[in-house]
Structure 1
Amino acid sequence: MSLASHLAELQRKHGDIEREIDEALAHPSVDGLDIVKLKRRKLAIKDEIEKLKSPTRH
């Protein structure tokens, strides 16, 4: 998988999780812990995207 396609896939996943969070927040019956887990996944993906975009990748 090329770097560009990997970044695109990560950005798609990030957007999907963001939509899941928005939907969960719209329903008061959703467990707060589930929202926290989604936010952590979203942040981990964002961190990975930033690492891949960084000019000094390791």
Structure 2
Amino acid sequence: MLPLTKEQEASLGLELATKRQEHSDLNAAIDTLTQSQVADRMLLQRLKKRKLALKDRIVQLENILLPDIIA
């Protein structure tokens, strides 16, 4: 894999921070909905699916920005 330019690194870093914040916000929303008595199961399922997709993207970005160094 080619080394990232500073611009690419900055862009991916910004995306990573944004995805982490969105993941955190979704987590809070899911917790709130789960505790409420009127939780919509379909909405919860969609939110959890979105949260999982975000987590997958976060892992991808972390692997790009912080590759494992094999010594």
**TM-score, normalised to structure 2's length?**
0.72
Q: Which runs of 4+ in 1 moved over 4 A?
A: none
Identity %: 36
Q: Which runs of 5+ in 1 are unaligned?
A: none
Cα RMSD for the two superposed structures: 1.5
State yes or no: 1:17 paired with 2:23: no
Amino acid of the structure 1 residue aligned with 2:60: K
- What TM-score do you get using the length of structure 1 for normalisation? 0.86
Is 1:52 paired with 2:67? no
Q: Aligned pair count?
A: 56
Structure with larger Rg? 2
